[in-house]
Amino acid sequence: MADEPQVIDKPAPKEIIAPGYTFGTVTDQIAAVVLTKKTPPLFWMGSFAVGFGLLLLFLLAVGVLLMKGLGIWGLRAPAMWAWDITNFVWWVGIGHAGTLISAILLLLNQQWRNSINRFAEAMTLFAVACAGMFPVLHLGRPWLMYWLFPYPNTMAIEPNFRSPLVWDVFAVSTYATVSLLFWYVGLMPDLATLRDRATDRFAKFSYGILAMGWRGSAKHWAVYETASLLLAGLATPLVLSVHTVVSFDFTIGIVPGWHSTFFPPYFVAGAIYSGFAMVLALAIPLRSAYGLQGLITDKHLDNAAKVMMATGLIVGYSYILEAFTGWYSGNVFEEAAIWNRMTGMYKYQYWTLIACNVIAPNALWFKKVRSSPVILFIWSIIVLIGMWLERFVIIVASLSQDNLPSSWGRFEATRWDVATYLGTIGLFLFLFFLFIRLLPMISIFEVRTLLPQAKVKEDEA
């Protein structure tokens, strides 16, 4: 810890916090977003309205699904997994960047995480909430989904622990729980700040209950630091294992195009790639709408873009490796699986994904691209589209044309596939903008530690 302040003191071209901030102004700026009595900005109103509208669409889609059954989706043999699992993997992947920022970057002592970790963790939670919808909804009998949990029952049976779909249940539910705990533990000091700053009684009471009597004593802080380091230590293997388990859903299958050993790291890299894209897609509009450029600086965008590029290159490497092993295996089915992707029914999706995930991230080598928020925003959207297509191609292209030519078919999405997907985007926006309005989107106390005042004291100590 001794040399840490020196790192910050180094004159950097871009700071992780704009000069001139004090403890008071940092707190003012972040708390004002939540505690302000004024009507929230148009940006919030608009985004929340879109989110709420799409959420209603989601409820409609789920209602129709429960009444009519899975047949309203385009799932037909041979492609019995399509948009449902594509969206599941996409959302789980997006969630991973939040944990990477809050846990892995904490373990690596990366202080630039401090002002983006709170909303990144919220993003994780809400993305996992959206992801969690699909494994349940895509069951033919979703009301029996509790059979996936091992509990004493009158049938004297338990789930088959050899199935990665059962591991998914544990992976995703553990991931959601640990993320929620980590996020909440990190929120407590800030909830105490809001409690102390709130003026109306209801707000005081609500934040007071949630802050659980946080007084910020040295003991509290010592316990807090230990707890958050432990949670970071727990969350780090979780990030890697959860998406690994998600990738097992495919690698354990014997479908050509699925049965590969490099899926676990490749999926995790893809998760972080798409997750950072979502972080950027949220951070860039947020900071300009709320004038937070001093806290979420260009340096943050630059760093996030670099991580995005690094993981994007790993993903690109995986595509090349996939094509190579397809050819190198000498297996006609493996070769055909790759060939089908490139030239078959889904060739447009495949080449779009190559453009989004292999070619596009290379633009991030250039400082000019990384320093322009507008371009970065566009790029993050490109990445999100690319990573959705990646999962779609892996799942649907592999299933549509596999070993037996008599069982080849083409998947056609129905309006309900689209509505459910848009609906989860609505759920995400709805939850996220509730979070923006009700909780501090930037960790106040962690940003305070970045200030020069905080460093001076550490030097003296």
Is residue 160 a contact residue for another protein (CB under 8 A)? no
For another protein, which stretch binds (CB under 8 A), given 151-159, 283-291, 299-307, 309-317?
151-159
**Shortest distance in whole angstroms from residue 185 CB to another protein:** 16
At position 221, the amino acid (one-letter code) is W
Burial of 419 (0-12, 13-18, 19+ CB in 10 A): buried
Token pair, residue 412, equals 């056609």
Q: Which of 51, 440, 433, 84 is nearest to 249 (CA)?
A: 84
For another protein, which stretch binds (CB under 8 A), given 129-137, 155-163, 350-358, 441-449?
155-163
Residue whose entry in the numeric block shows the structure tokens 């990190």:
186
Is residue 140 a contact residue for another protein (CB under 8 A)? no
Neighbouring-strand partners of residue 378: none
**Shortest distance in whole angstroms from residue 208 CB to another protein:** 5
Interface residue with another protein, options 96, 118, 195, 391 (CB under 8 A): 195
**Shortest distance in whole angstroms from residue 209 CB to another protein:** 8
Whole-angstrom Cα distance, residue 373 to residue 190?
28
Residues 8-27, interacting with another protein (CB under 8 A):
none
Token pair, residue 257, equals 């195009």
- Per DSSP, the three-state class of 200 is coil
Query: What stretches of 212-262 show up as alpha helix (H) in DSSP?
Result: 218-251
Interface residue with another protein, options 1, 42, 157, 218 (CB under 8 A): 157
> In this complex, which beta carbon is closest to another protein, that of residue 205 or of residue 221?
205
Interface residue with another protein, options 18, 165, 170, 204 (CB under 8 A): 204
> In this complex, which beta carbon is closest to another protein, that of residue 154 or of residue 406?
154
Q: Return the DSSP state at 198.
A: -
Integer CA distances (angstroms), 195 to 125, 200, 245, 290, 380, in order: 23, 10, 40, 21, 36
Torsions phi, psi for 284 (to 5 deg): -65, -50
**Shortest distance in whole angstroms from residue 155 CB to another protein:** 4
For another protein, which stretch binds (CB under 8 A), given 1-9, 108-116, 202-210, 221-229?
202-210
Interface residue with another protein, options 6, 153, 403, 407 (CB under 8 A): 153
Query: Widest CA span of the chain, in angstroms?
Result: 76
Is residue 155 a contact residue for another protein (CB under 8 A)? yes
Is residue 156 a contact residue for another protein (CB under 8 A)? yes
End-to-end CA separation in angstroms for the chain: 11
Residues 423-452, interacting with another protein (CB under 8 A):
none
**Shortest distance in whole angstroms from residue 195 CB to another protein:** 7
> In this complex, which beta carbon is closest to another protein, that of residue 39 or of residue 160?
160
Whole-angstrom Cα distance, residue 425 to residue 127?
9
Is residue 149 a contact residue for another protein (CB under 8 A)? no
Torsions phi, psi for 189 (to 5 deg): -60, -35
The contact pattern for another protein, residues 206-245, with x = CB under 8 A and - = no contact, is --x-------------------------------------
Q: Are 277 and 28 in contact (CB under 8 A)?
A: no
Torsions phi, psi for 407 (to 5 deg): -105, 35
**Shortest distance in whole angstroms from residue 145 CB to another protein:** 16
Whole-angstrom Cα distance, residue 184 to residue 228?
10
How many residues line the site for another protein (CB under 8 A)?
11
> In this complex, which beta carbon is closest to another protein, that of residue 206 or of residue 371?
206
**Shortest distance in whole angstroms from residue 341 CB to another protein:** 37
**Shortest distance in whole angstroms from residue 118 CB to another protein:** 24
- Per DSSP, the three-state class of 76 is strand
Compute the half-sphere exposure of residue 101: CA atoms within 13 Å on the CB side of its CA: 36
The contact pattern for another protein, residues 323-362, with x = CB under 8 A and - = no contact, is ----------------------------------------
Measured CA angle at 349 (ends 306, 71), to 5 deg: 120
For another protein, which stretch binds (CB under 8 A), given 39-47, 135-143, 201-209, 274-282?
201-209
Residues that bind another protein (CB under 8 A): 152-157, 195, 201, 204-205, 208
